[in-house]
Amino acid sequence: MKTTSITKLTRILLIICGIALIISIFVPLWAIYLEAPQYPEGLGMFLHANKITGDYEIINGLNHYIGMKTIHQEDFWEFKILPYALGFFAALCFLAAFLNKKRWLYILAALFVIFGVAFMVDFWLWEYDYGHNLDPNAAIVVPGMSYQPPLIGFKQLLNFGAYSYPDIGGWIMFGVATILIILAFLEFKNSKKNPSKNF
């Protein structure tokens, strides 16, 4: 008989993943930093599951001169669903651990990877629109210039250096995705190796 249960270690790690995802709701998910000669200390903007914090109002003032749209918290529809999505996946981690079935682990891993990819694509699309949809009547217009921030890493935008990378919550999401993929792979491999063993 092919085993359908998961190991005790997998169940423990699923519970840890669930707790970590709950924590990610309350900490910054992503950070964007800007550096320039007039701002040697840098300007930071932090995206949470349900809000923006940091120096985004100052960034709005600077970006007005090059025709970029101002950033307003209410413009992000994602803030309305992201806390619930993270809570849903946390609950699914706990449910998979409780039900102790491989298929729930596989479903969880697949759904979370799809969610993570969709999250990154959505963020890139927002950055693209933010950096390309410019006011043609702005005070400073550089023909052919766009100001899309990097998804991850560094990009020079005029005299500003822009950095973009995961913050605490983002690293948690990457970590959970990695753990789920590894667990699903090991459980699948183990079931093939020991088709008649139950855990």
Half-sphere exposure of 93 (CA within 13 A, CB side): 26
* pLDDT tens, residue by residue, 21-62: 999 999 999 999 988 888 878 889 999 999 999 988 888 887
Dihedrals phi, psi of 195, to nearest 5 degrees: -65, -20
Sorted by where each starts, the structural domains of the chain and their CATH numbers stand as: 8-193 (1.20.140)
Dihedrals phi, psi of 29, to nearest 5 degrees: -90, -35
Which residue has 């900490």 as its token pair?
Answer: 27
Compute CA distances 166 → 51, 184, 185, whole Å: 15, 24, 25
Structure tokens at 106: 């596989």
Whether residue 14 is predicted with pLDDT greater than 80 in this model: the reply is yes
Q: Strand order in 160-166's β-sheet?
A: 52-54, 39-47, 30-36, 160-166, 153-157
Whether residue 198 is predicted with pLDDT greater than 90 in this model: the reply is no
* pLDDT tens, residue by residue, 120-169: 999 999 888 887 887 777 677 777 777 888 889 998 877 778 899 999 99
Neighbours of 184 (CB within 10 A): 20
Whether residue 199 is predicted with pLDDT greater than 50 in this model: the reply is no
- Per-range mean pLDDT, top range of 73-82, 100-109, 126-135: 100-109
